[in-house]
Structure 1
Amino acid sequence: MRLDKFICKSTELTRNEAKKMLKSGEVRVNGEVAKNAAMQVHENNTITIDGQELTARGSRYFILHKVVDSICSNVDEVYPSVLNFIEVDKAFDLHIAGRLDADTTGLVLITDDGRWSHNVISPKKQCEKTYRVWLRNEIDDEKLPALVERFEQGLQLQGEDSLTRPAILTRVAEADLVDEESYRSEVLLTITEGKYHQVKRMFAAVGNRVVGLHREQIGGITLGDLAPGEWRELSEAEIALFAS
């Protein structure tokens, strides 16, 4: 963990205040003055300010049902950050483990545990993320098996050197097109990576267009009965899913 982050987790100081404290020479790590905010410290290090030893608070883990027109960012931009919905102290010290676009809804995991979030988002961990996808064009019954196979084998996305990792595609329903914003196919897609706009680009690669996108599940964690805009702390069992 970065030294400035450790100080923030051990005190009421903001990140900027912690950096000022470091520059002043008041912080020591294992008895030595430390001024580098990016210095990596560990649980077995002794960190003091003016001789008082610091003890970091435990990490925090939350699930949020993201609403449309909110962004997975630590700052408000055109749309508000999802961290505005988390009513806890120092919410903006948290980060999002696996971002969603502003127009995408659904499950978002939020934490201040960098190792834990790495296990969620790293392609090497092959954590499954399942999306409900509404498509502009109908999927023909005769073409469905071949389409499923293409997703399983991996797709070539524009601007990418390698194929996407194997993905699982399941058609849920067909619908009549009512207007430009309506859909004609509803599918579930499970992927194990998170390239930029990946789901939208995957369907574009097969000649379709996503008109609605909702993340339902990450690994063994689901939204359950969490309503749009609501959040809760993760259970110990849910946290343990990505603790290794």
Structure 2
Amino acid sequence: MALFYLWFRLKMRLDKYLSQSTGFSRKEVKKMLHKGMISVDGEVTKDASLHVAADAHVLMEGYPVEPPGDKYIMLYKPEGFVCSNDDGTHPTVVSLIELPRADELHICGRLDVDTTGLVLLTSNGKWAHRITSPKHKTGKVYRVETADPIPQEAIEQFETGLMLASERFRTKPARLEILSEHEALVTLTEGRYHQVKRMFAAIGNRVVGLHRESVGAIELDEMLEPGEYRFLSDAEVESVQ
């Protein structure tokens, strides 16, 4: 990413910038410019040849347009949204992303409809795979609230691995940190279907609240409210190896 920004200091024509960022053809971009739908640093412009830098504030129909290149986003997923690009029953997390071509973003690890917390999205498929592939062992931390008290022996059970209903193999070792009678942090390096809920079910308990706090070294920004998102920093992107 640093090399991209070094190159971009040379500046880029506005029509090329918009075309590469949004996927619209230059002909379509020029029509939008003619209609006054584009602004740069607060000023409406119709000049397709205007040269813009990486830190320019470009809006298309009032929505921010990021510089060309891969996008990396953290979203605070609210309850009631599904981690899908399309769903006929519930609103999707990508519907919260007010960017062109948001429906083409990869969702890096899904959360249940009633689970809240950190969701990562990107246009970089290889980066998404490094997060979701079990061989990379990217730790994901969940804050769990349970219906019944969590026994101390559950720590060893999670570390040893549990047999889940309809599964042939035990879960991989997971870290359980008990915070109070009904609250704990669970760190997983795999992502089976409803895994946290099924692990607690396997020890005779029930999850009543589930929230993902981090993925690898990337922590949910405490400044974000449910439904809000921001772009990842270079350091956060590069933390995924």
User: Which of the residues 208, 230, 233 maps onto 2:231?
Assistant: 233
Structure 1: any 5+ residue segments left out of the alignment?
1-6, 14-56, 175-184
Residue 184 of structure 2 aligns with which residue?
187
- Aligned amino acid, residue 233 of structure 1: F
Q: Structure 1 residue 75 and structure 2 residue 72: aligned?
A: no
Number of residue-to-residue matches in the alignment = 181
Distance change (3 Å), C-alpha of 1:9 and 1:230: closer
Gaps of 5+ in 2: 1-18, 26-67
Alignment of 1:196-207 (within 5 A): 196-207=193-204
Amino acid at match of 2:225: A
CA contact (8 A) 2:22 2:100 kept: no
Work out whether 1:114 is the aligned partner of 2:114. no
- Deviations 1:89-146 (CA, angstroms, capped at 9, x unpaired): 1111112100000000000000111110111011100000000001011124xxx0x2
Q: Does 1:149 align with 2:161?
A: no
1:201 aligns to what SS in structure 2? helix
The whole-number CA distance in structure 1 between the counterparts of 2:109 and 2:166 is 21
Q: How does 1:39-58 map to 2 (within 5 A)?
A: 57-58=68-69
**Structure 2 partner of 1:169:** 176
Query: In the TM superposition, what whole-angstrom CA distance separates every residue of 1:52-84 from its partner, at most 9, and x where no partner exists?
Result: xxxxx4111100000000010001321101111
One-letter amino acid of the structure 1 residue matched with residue 159 of structure 2:
E
- Given the alignment, which residue of 158, 161, 184 partners 2:165? 158
For residues 197 and 20 of structure 2, the distance between their equivalents in structure 1, rounded to whole angstroms, comes to 38
CA distance in 2, matches of 1:84, 1:99: 15
Paired residue type of 2:232: L
TM-score when normalising by structure 2: 0.71
Normalised TM-score (structure 1): 0.71
Task: State the identity as a percent.
Answer: 49
Q: How big is each residue's C-alpha offset from its partner over 1:215-234, in whole Å with a ceiling of 9 and x where there is no partner?
A: 00100011122211110000
In the TM superposition, residue 166 of structure 1 has moved relative to its aligned partner by 0.5
